[in-house]
């Protein structure tokens, strides 16, 4: 076998590298290990969140797999934060920022240490795009492993059940004791949030992209199948090293189209738009909001999964995961079957022997009975969002909403007025100065959207923001409005009582003001000063691009 130590040999070969070898002997290397390709294993293990609390064990299995396949696995850590814990607080400003920190740290460690191949294991939702961006920048043979989904809580509950219970309690429909019972039983152990929220959305999209092994997205966090997935990843990286298969060979424009098609059919999170744009940027693939709109016109929503549907990821796993759905999409000409994957085979080859779903299942609908005939991820444009916005509209909320603006300058202000009854039927809740720069960090609006649902206003109000939404959010919601308020976008000019229309069928979002009135308001508008002038949030706000460009931090350098 040819020497595949393209990077590690520079670090460990020769008399002059004796100090490096001495350091590595202290962490467990022996003489034979210096002749093996080094496989860096990026673990997002942390006791910060149940999404990641088991990943240290998964990293050990991945290391075993790399060693058994003839490599030398080296585990290192990167960070995670918990959206579920931070939502509704100023700490959530760090959530999207953590995607960049993860990408930067994987690039930094692997670039410094000279790893020849890489495995990255992610659990919580920012981990996944962060890992993929880091792997893409390095462009060395690499596999992503999903940490796996959580099992349902008592009574078919999950984290979103708890958020919505808060709203039910505020409405008077749930006692304090009942709320506490949901709190105590909804999260039974390790794994990512249980619906087709952002974590399961991104895991599914990455599998469809070809950067994880088949079925990696559809395994429970605590399961033998997930353990085996980790072991097999080591062998896969070694195969990729032998055949010089790199992320840029896999993450092509056609592969991104496959990922977008799959996540639409699954009814995935709006955050996927933001993350797919960022991942494409990392490999210099041209991808825009218009691509989501174009693909969305021909792909139906087929999965009846939470948050807007009935079922959880664990129930989809029980009937075969996403592979049978992808096989059906491929057979109907909606996927590019010739895209290369981390198995060394094409997508079509991976799917060739996949069996269909059981005949009696109702989680994945037939193509002639879709939940929605086209995408639920609706790209809106108009005088309120000239550079675009992303709506999550399944059709259950209706396809058009017109109402009067009720304006808030932060998530906290809006949350208070939703819970105390100030927000009423017919309102369009406007939450601004929460964009990538203005927040900074583009917080998710899970607390306000869950409060809206819990208060029984899910079909009665709309919510728009230059921030974003959790994958657990549902209702008539529009995020990622660009330009954001901090940059003087039209969302900054809205006043209480202005009429706003959101139309999913025409893909427009309209502020019912004349051009001259908008111009007058723009002349009178004054920018707000940056909220942070030191540290990570200040650096992020200074470098981040708009949401319509993926909110990346290296675009304008």
Alpha-carbon distance of 381 to 360, in angstroms, equals 41
Determine whether the annotation assigns residue 83 to a binding site. yes
- Active-site residue flag, 470: yes
Determine whether the annotation assigns residue 310 to a binding site. no
For 41, phi then psi, to 5°, come to -120, 105
DSSP string across 517-551? HHHHHHHH--PPPPS--SHHHHHHHHH---GGGT-
CA-CA-CA-CA dihedral for 343, 349, 352, 354, to nearest 10? 20
Alpha-carbon distance of 206 to 147, in angstroms, equals 13
Nearest residue to 127 (alpha-carbon basis) of 58, 38, 228: 58
Paired residues of 385 in beta bridges: 382
Determine whether the annotation assigns residue 484 to a binding site. no
Determine whether the annotation assigns residue 51 to a binding site. yes
Active-site residue identified among 43, 470, 473, 548:
470
Distance set, CA 75 to CA 13, 72, 129 (Å): 21, 10, 19
Half-sphere exposure of 401 (CA within 13 A, CB side): 26
Q: Under 8 Å CB-to-CB from 181, ≥6 apart: which residues?
A: none
Nearest residue to 280 (alpha-carbon basis) of 258, 264, 301, 297: 258
Alpha-carbon distance of 55 to 419, in angstroms, equals 37
Report the catalytic residues. Answer: 470
- Known binding positions for Mg(2+): 83, 125-126, 444
- Known binding positions for [2Fe-2S] cluster: 51
- Known binding positions: 51, 83, 125-126, 444
């Amino acid at each position: 076998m040819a020497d595949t130590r393209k990077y590690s040999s520079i670090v460990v070969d020769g008399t002059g590298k004796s100090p490096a070898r001495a350091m590595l002997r202290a962490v467990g290397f022996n003489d034979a290990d210096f002749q093996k390709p080094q496989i860096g294993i990026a673990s997002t293990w942390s006791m910060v969140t149940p999404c990641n609390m088991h990943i240290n064990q998964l990293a050990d299995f991945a290391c075993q797999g790399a060693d058994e396949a003839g490599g030398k696995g080296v585990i290192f850590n990167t960070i995670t934060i918990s959206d579920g814990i931070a939502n509704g607080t100023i700490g959530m400003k760090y959530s999207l920022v953590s995607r960049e920190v993860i990408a930067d740290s994987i690039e930094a460690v692997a670039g410094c240490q000279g790893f020849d191949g890489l495995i990255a294991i992610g659990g919580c939702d920012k981990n996944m795009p962060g890992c993929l961006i880091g792997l893409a920048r390095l462009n060395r043979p690499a596999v992503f492993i999903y940490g796996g989904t959580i099992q349902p809580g008592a009574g078919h509950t999950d984290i979103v059940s708890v958020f919505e219970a808060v709203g039910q309690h505020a409405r008077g429909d749930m006692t304090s004791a009942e709320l506490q019972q949901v709190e105590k039983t909804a999260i039974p152990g390790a794994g990512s949030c249980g619906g087709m929220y952002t974590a399961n959305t991104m895991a599914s999209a990455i599998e469809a992209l070809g950067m994880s092994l088949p079925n990696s997205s559809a395994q429970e966090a605590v399961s033998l199948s997930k353990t085996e997935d980790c072991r097999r990843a080591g062998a896969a990286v070694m195969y990729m090293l032998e055949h010089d298969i790199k992320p840029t060979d896999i993450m092509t424009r056609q592969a991104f189209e496959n990922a977008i098609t799959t996540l639409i059919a699954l009814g995935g999170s709006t955050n996927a738009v933001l993350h797919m744009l960022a991942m494409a940027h990392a490999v210099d693939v041209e991808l825009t909001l218009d691509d989501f709109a174009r693909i969305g016109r021909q792909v139906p929503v087929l999965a009846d999964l939470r948050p807007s549907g009935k079922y959880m990821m664990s129930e989809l796993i029980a009937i075969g995961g996403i592979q049978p759905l992808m096989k059906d999409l491929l057979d109907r000409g909606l996927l590019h079957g010739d895209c290369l994957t981390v198995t060394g085979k094409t997508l079509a080859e991976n799917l060739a022997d996949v069996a269909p779903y059981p005949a009696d299942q109702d989680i994945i609908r037939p193509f002639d009975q879709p939940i929605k005939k086209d995408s639920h991820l609706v790209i809106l444009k108009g005088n309120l969002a000239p550079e675009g916005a992303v709506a999550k509209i399944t059709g259950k909320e209706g396809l058009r909403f017109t109402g009067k603006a009720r304006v808030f300058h932060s998530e906290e202000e809006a949350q208070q007025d939703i819970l105390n009854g100030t927000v009423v039927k017919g309102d369009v809740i406007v939450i601004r100065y929460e964009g990538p720069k203005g927040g900074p960090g583009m917080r998710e609006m899970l607390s306000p959207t869950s409060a809206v649902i819990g208060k029984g206003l899910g079909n009665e109000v709309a919510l728009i923001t230059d921030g974003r939404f959790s994958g657990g959010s549902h209702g008539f919601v529009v995020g990622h409005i660009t330009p954001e308020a901090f940059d003087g976008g039209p969302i900054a000019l809205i006043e209480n009582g202005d009429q706003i229309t959101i139309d999913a069928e025409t893909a427009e979002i309209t502020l019912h003001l004349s051009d001259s009135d908008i111009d007058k308001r723009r002349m009178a508008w004054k920018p707000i000063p940056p909220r942070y002038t030191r540290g990570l949030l200040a650096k992020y706000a200074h470098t981040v691009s708009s949401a319509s460009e993926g909110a990346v931090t290296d675009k304008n350098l």
